Amino acid sequence: MSGGVDSSVTAALLKHEGHDVIGVTLNVWPEAQADESTRTKACCGLSAVDDARRVADLLGIPYYVLNFRDLFREYVIADFVREYARGRTPNPCVRCNQHVKFRPVLQRADALGAEYVATGHYVRRDRDPVSGRYRLRKARDAAKDQSYVLFPMRQDELARTLFPLGDYEKAATRELAARFGLPVAGKAESMEICFVPDNKYGRYVTAAAPEAAQPGPILDAQGRYLGEHPGIVHFTVGQRRGLGLASQEPLYVLAIEPERNAVIVGSDADLLSRELIADGLNLVALPELRGRLTCRARIRYRMQEAPATVAPAPEHGPDAVRVRFAAPQRAITPGQAVVFYDGDSVLGGATIASVVRDGDERPDGAAAAGAAALSPA
Percent of the chain with pLDDT over 90: 79
- pLDDT tens-digit readout, 255-310: 999 999 999 999 999 999 999 999 999 999 999 999 999 999 999 998 999 999 99
- Other Cβ atoms closer than 10 A to 259: 10
Nearest to 234 by CA among 276, 263, 211: 263
Q: Which CATH number is associated with domain 210-269?
A: 2.30.30.280
Rounded to whole angstroms, how far apart are CA atoms 138 and 124?
6
| pLDDT for the residue numbered 375 | 27
Say what the pTM is: 0.90
Q: Which of 43, 44, 96, 295 is catalytic?
A: 96
Instruction: Report yes or no: 372 and 269 within 8 Å, Cβ to Cβ.
Output: yes
Tens of pLDDT, residue by residue over 93-150, are 999 999 999 999 999 999 999 999 999 999 999 999 999 999 999 999 999 999 999 9
Convert the pLDDT of each residue in 216-229 to its tens digit: 999 999 999 999 99
| CA end-to-end distance (rounded Å), the chain | 47
In the annotation, is 93 catalytic? no
- Strand 117-118 with 321-330, pairing: unpaired
DSSP single-letter state for residue 122: S
What is the 8-class DSSP label of residue 192?
B
SS in 3 state form for 22-55?
CEEEEECCCCCCCCHHHCCCECCCHHHHHHHHHH
- What is the pLDDT confidence band of residue 191, given thresholds at 50, 70 and 90? low
pLDDT above 60: residue 362 = no
Residues in the chain: 377
Return the pLDDT at 248.
Answer: 87
User: In terms of CATH architecture, what is 272-361?
Assistant: Beta Barrel (2.40)
Instruction: Locate the domains of the chain by residue range.
Output: 5-179, 210-269, 272-361
Q: How many CA atoms lie within 13 A of 274 on its CB side?
A: 17
Please state, in angstroms and rounded to a whole number, the distance separating the CA atoms of residues 260 and 116: 49
For residue 124, CA distances in Å to 17, 85, 258 come to 18, 35, 39
Q: 338 to each of 74, 92, 204, 274, how far by Cα in Å?
A: 23, 14, 26, 13
Q: Residue 73 phi/psi, 5° resolution?
A: -65, -40
Note whether 5-179 and 272-361 share their fold.
no
pLDDT for res 209: 87
Instruction: Point out the catalytic residue in the list 44, 93, 194, 295.
Output: 194
Catalytic: 43? no
Tell me how many degrees the CA angle 358-295-150 measures, rounded to the nearest 5.
105
pLDDT computed for residue 365 by the predictor: 43
Strands (E), 60-114: 63-67
CA distance 315 to 263: 27
Q: Which CATH class is domain 5-179?
A: alpha beta
